Amino acid sequence: MQMTTNSGLAAVEAALKTRLAALTTDIAGIEADRRAPLDADFSEQASELAGQDALGGIEDGKVAEADAIRGALARVADGSYGKCVSCGCTIPAARLAAVPTATRCVACAEATSG
């Protein structure tokens, strides 16, 4: 285990945890909305169901982001955060600043995205 004191990493970890807490709160709120009983009026039911579909899409995005953040926090904990999972290079700080949950360097992300 190499000794690396990296205060930048601690700041990233704190920011990720803050974001994860906000997402967890949002997801819980959306799930509460989706579980709310439907209005007795059929036309109201239709619009409520459409709204729930939209909420479901928003929730999926938030769940995916929360998963990505949990993964990033796990990499912070095991010391692999900031390393490209494909080529093993160090992901540039500017990329991590823009995408804190990035698991690949720009070159590998472009190579695997399509």
87 touching Zn ion, by CB under 5 A: yes
102 touching Zn ion, by CB under 5 A: no
96 touching Zn ion, by CB under 5 A: no
The region of 6-14, 41-49, 55-63, 106-114 touching Zn ion under the rule CB under 5 A is 106-114
Instruction: Considering the complex, state which of residue 20 and residue 105 has its C-beta at the smaller distance from Zn ion.
Output: 105
Q: How would you write 40-95 as a 3-class SS string?
A: CCHHHHHHHHHHHHHHHHHHHHHHHHHHHHHHHHHHHHHCCCCECCCCCCECCHHH
Q: Residue 73: name the closest of 101, 33, 52, 41 by CA.
A: 101
Could you say which of 30, 84, 96, 102 contacts Zn ion (CB under 5 A)?
84
DSSP state, residue 27? H
Tokens representing residue 58 in the block: 């928003």
# residues contacting Zn ion (CB under 5 A): 5
Q: Distances in Å between the alpha carbon of 61 and those of 36, 56, 77?
A: 21, 9, 24
Q: Cβ of residue 71: shortest distance to Zn ion, in angstroms? A: 16
Q: Cβ of residue 113: shortest distance to Zn ion, in angstroms? A: 12
Which residues contact Zn ion by CB under 5 A?
84, 86-87, 105, 108
